Amino acid sequence: MSEKEYQRVLVWSGWLRLSHWTIGLTTLVLLLTGWLIAESPSLARSSLDVHYLAAGILVSGLIVRIALMFIGQEHEHLTALIPASSEFKAGAKTLRFYISLGKMPLPRWYAQNPLWKPLYLLIYLVLLVQVASGAVMH
């Protein structure tokens, strides 16, 4: 293989990609419909139906993602979202890369970006709290 050729390596499974797209898109729909319910009385009723539908799909996506945290591939496990002590330097370098708007060198990593690992975990926890609070609202 020459220097200019690259080899693609599948890191994330289709199930993980599906759960991420599901979580991301339904979160956007929930934000929009939640805003419409609060701010637009004329659209509140139909927005509420879409909001509940999106909430159900979000729960499905979260269930798949949580299952993958325990039974998925190595880089999909819960432990992959907790940075190792050796990754703190790479996380700091990644933060410097972002702050410099790409002028600093980007550290190499395989699979999870070390800066985003704990943030992904936090996002999942916040989504679970949101789902729980939405479920007990009525």
Q: Which long-range contacts (CB under 8 A, 24 or more apart) does 120-126 make?
A: 120/81, 121/81, 121/82, 124/62, 124/65, 124/66
Cα 133 to the chain's mean position, in Å?
19
Structure tokens at 130: 């949101």
Q: What is the pLDDT of residues 49-75, one digit of tens each?
A: 999 999 999 999 999 999 999 998 888
pLDDT greater than 90 at residue 7: no
pLDDT greater than 60 at residue 114: yes
User: pLDDT at position 124, please?
Assistant: 93
38 versus 1: which is more confidently predicted? Answer: 38
**pTM of the prediction?**
0.80
Residue 110's pLDDT band, with cuts at 50, 70 and 90, is low
The single-letter DSSP state of residue 114 is T
Structure tokens at 121: 């975990």
The residue among 77, 54, 56 whose CA lies nearest residue 66 is 77
Burial class of residue 102 in the structure, from the number of CB atoms within 10 Å of its CB (0-12 exposed, 13-18 middle, 19+ buried): exposed
% of the chain with per-residue pLDDT over 90:
54
The residue among 78, 54, 56, 74 whose CA lies nearest residue 65 is 78
User: pLDDT at position 1, please?
Assistant: 54
Q: What is the pLDDT of residues 88-104, one digit of tens each?
A: 888 888 889 889 998 98
